[in-house]
Amino acid sequence: MSPLTPYRRLFAHPGTRAFTLGNLVARLPMGMFSVSAVIMIASSRGSYALAGAVTATGLAATAVVAPWTARLVDRHGQARVAVPATAFALLGGIGLVVCVRLGAPDWTLFTAYAATATTPNTGGMSRARWAHLLKGDAAALHTANSFEQAVDELCFMLGPVLAAFLCGTVSPEAGMLVGSALLMTGVLLFTAQRSTQPPPQPRATSASPALAPGMPPLLLSFLATGAVFGAMEVVTIAFADERGHRSAAGAVLALQAAGSCVAGLLYGAVAGNAPSSDSSLPVRRYVLCVGAMAVLLTLPLLAVRLTGSLPVLAGALLVAGMATAPTMVTGMTLVQRRTPEGRLNEGMTLAVTGLLGGIAGGSAVGGWVVEHVSPAAGYAVPVAAATVALAIAALGARAGAARRQEHRLELHPANTP
């Protein structure tokens, strides 16, 4: 069977190609906004510290607001909530451009960029559609999640490149304006596909997904995984800058995303052909994938320690990135399984929020190590974060196995020793 066969079957479902195209357009700007904001603010105000503080504020605001936006999406439907939420977020982005252009006080930049926090989780909405359309087909849903993760990697690989090109060749504001236009257009195209939209769940009575069985350790492992991403970005930029090739940092990081993208597509095709009725299989896969990520992340550390070569580091990141997508695919599969009925967008957005919090923390720790020790030493931070994620995942798996055993004993007390 061809590796593409599971994907052909996936897009044979009516309406899937249309909503995927719209979501691709909407998701590309997700990799553009932070880079665009940093370049625009630094070019105007001459301060990377201010630019970083503004983007960090937007990230913190998103971590607070995004779960609430997702809850509204679950209750009232994607089209009804995503369009006005996107429009409000774009007012914040355009407001930031105006404030920078007019030389407004610094505090206005923080206020404007914080308003972009209402941007809906377009990736989560797409995954929710797949979960709705493929309910009961675990193999097809696995392939869909793999495809979505590959799309995430592709967008975060191409988005910064496009933003840097626009800001550098057109104007410092071009990246933010083009990204805003793409986001609004994509969301309108995506939400126009009503036939594939999950039905609203206006009366969800279940507890928060964050409190669902098995979710707390899973969200903590996402937090640690986010620290891997945040630290890797800062440390790689610093290492390239130390070697006199700061402009090459984006291309080096893009190789990591490329490795993850390819691995995600292959993982979806291979594992998607092997469905299993074993409910513990995704848990075991997740622990194995996090373990593989922790092991492969030692390669960049060894590359800089033993060779100090940027090309060798690039190759190591390409290989290390191959564990990222499988880890995220299996993690999102568990999030979907553990999220209560009717709150899927909220559950997946909580996972993304965990990643964002980890990225912020990883960036801060990685930056501290780079400044106080060395860029090479900074590559120990992603390894440490991945090791923590592995420990959390393993402990969560053990606790889950214990819960399942207790449940079996309750159902079959005669089997109790």
Per-residue H/E/C for the chain: CCCCHHHHHHCCCCCHHHHHHHHHHHHHHHHCHHHHHHHHHHHHHCCHHHHHHHHHHHHHHHHHHHHHHHHHHHHHCHHHHHHHHHHHHHHHHHHHHHHHHHCCCHHHHHHHHHHHHHCCCHHHHHHHHHHHHCCCCHHHHHHHHHHHHHHHHHHHHHHHHHHHHHHHHCCCCHHHHHHHHHHHHHHHHHHCCHHHCCCCCCCCCCCCHHHCCCHHHHHHHHHHHHHHHHHHHHHHHHHHHHCCCHHHHHHHHHHHHHHHHHHHHHHHHHHHCCCCCCCCHHHHHHHHHHHHHHHHCHHHHHHHHHCCCHHHHHHHHHHHHHHHHHHHHHHHHHHHHHCCCCCHHHHHHHHHHHHHHHHHHHHHHHHHHHHHCCHHHHCHHHHHHHHHHHHHHHHHHHHHHHHHHHHHHHHCHHHCC
Which parts of the chain have pLDDT scores under 70?
Answer: 1-3, 48, 203-207, 246-247, 271-279, 402-417
Q: What pLDDT is attached to residue 406?
A: 59
Q: What pLDDT is attached to residue 256?
A: 86
Q: Phi/psi at 181 (nearest 5 deg)? A: -65, -40
What's this model's pTM, rounded to 2 decimal places? 0.78
CA-CA distances (angstroms) from residue 4 to 9, 14, 126, 141, 147?
Answer: 9, 18, 20, 15, 11
**Residues 6+ away with beta carbon under 8 Å from 265:** 3, 7, 146, 147, 150
The one-letter amino acid code at 36 reads S
pLDDT for 209-234, tens place per residue? 888 888 999 999 999 998 898 888 88
pLDDT for 182-196, tens place per residue? 999 999 999 999 889
Q: What pLDDT is attached to residue 204?
A: 59
Q: What pLDDT is attached to residue 275?
A: 47
**Residues 6+ away with beta carbon under 8 Å from 111:** none
The one-letter amino acid code at 96 reads L
Q: What pLDDT is attached to residue 156?
A: 75
Closest by CA to 260, choosing from 139, 154, 382, 393, is 154
Residue with tokens 């120990």: 380
**Residues 6+ away with beta carbon under 8 Å from 72:** 81, 85
Q: What pLDDT is attached to residue 2?
A: 63
Q: What pLDDT is attached to residue 159?
A: 81
Residue with tokens 């964050």: 210
d(C-alpha 241, C-alpha 402), whole Å:
49
